[in-house]
Amino acid sequence: MVKYQCRRQHIYEPARGDPTQGIPQETAFEDLPYSWVCPLCGATKSFFLKHGGKPTNDYAARHHHQKEREESRSRQPSRNAAKVFRPVKS
* 30 is a domain residue: yes
Residue type, 76: Q
C-alpha dihedral sign at 16, 21, 27, 30: negative
pLDDT digit string (tens) for 45-88?
988 988 876 544 555 545 544 555 566 555 555 555 555 666 77
* 13 is a domain residue: yes
Instruction: Report the domain count for the chain.
Output: 1
Quote the CA–CA distance of 78 and 90 in Å, as a whole number.
30
CATH code of the domain covering residue 17 = 2.20.28.10
Quote the CA–CA distance of 2 and 89 in Å, as a whole number.
74
Q: What's the predicted TM-score (pTM) here? A: 0.55
Q: Looking at residue 1, what is its pLDDT?
A: 78
Quote the CA–CA distance of 7 and 9 in Å, as a whole number.
5
Q: Looking at residue 29, what is its pLDDT?
A: 93
CA torsion 34-39-24-13 (nearest 10°) is 100
pLDDT digit string (tens) for 3-56?
999 877 889 999 999 999 999 999 999 999 989 999 988 999 988 988 876 544
* 75 is a domain residue: no
Q: Looking at residue 61, what is its pLDDT?
A: 47
Domain of residue 48, residue span = 4-58
* 16 is a domain residue: yes
Quote the CA–CA distance of 27 and 25 in Å, as a whole number.
6
Q: Looking at residue 90, what is its pLDDT?
A: 65
